Amino acid sequence: MNDKLKEKVADKMHEAWSGWMAYIFRKSKVNPDGTITIPQWAVKRWSKQVDTWYKDLPENMKDSDREEADKILALPEIKSALDKLEMLKITKEIFEIQRELKSLPALPDIELIVDCPECKYSSGKSTGLAHRTQCWNKCKSCKGTGQITQKVTLDEFIEAVTEYMRNNDIPFKGGVLRLEGEILK
């Protein structure tokens, strides 16, 4: 482990411990001989907390522990490392998908429905009769629909999906991937 990072984490841990000790001293009574007396209510409450696993704590008590964890996770070195791990995980998933797709038997080109490049009326616009007539008169490629079928190879498809996922920060978890309203299985 990096000694500099270790020191930063130790500093945060000491800060948490110091805060806890200050809380104990505020709630306790200082005796004339310098000892402290912890009130009975605090002994009961803190003993119960000590004997309870984190997973069994009520949410309001977990929130306090989460705040302490956030202080550690917010350290730039840790945040950067976690971000890199997430990107590696996404990249690994993309490569696994690519490997699975490429291991399939030879596939014909994939047909995608895309906006017609020759037509100024996109598929998102009205597709009423007036639109279809204008489109038909201006563009014979899409026959008034504003969309055409475009053939792409499997490699082009994988590249396009990978780029789309990276540009839109979409982790792929398997199953169905939705791209601009079209469902790809």
Q: Where are the domains of the chain?
A: 3-74, 109-184
Residue 123's pLDDT is what? 47
Predicted confidence (pLDDT) at residue 93 exceeds the cutoff of 50: yes
Residue 176 DSSP label: -
CB distance 27 to 96 below 8 Å? no
Entry pTM: 0.42
Q: Please tell me the least confidently modeled range out of 28-37, 66-75, 82-91.
A: 82-91
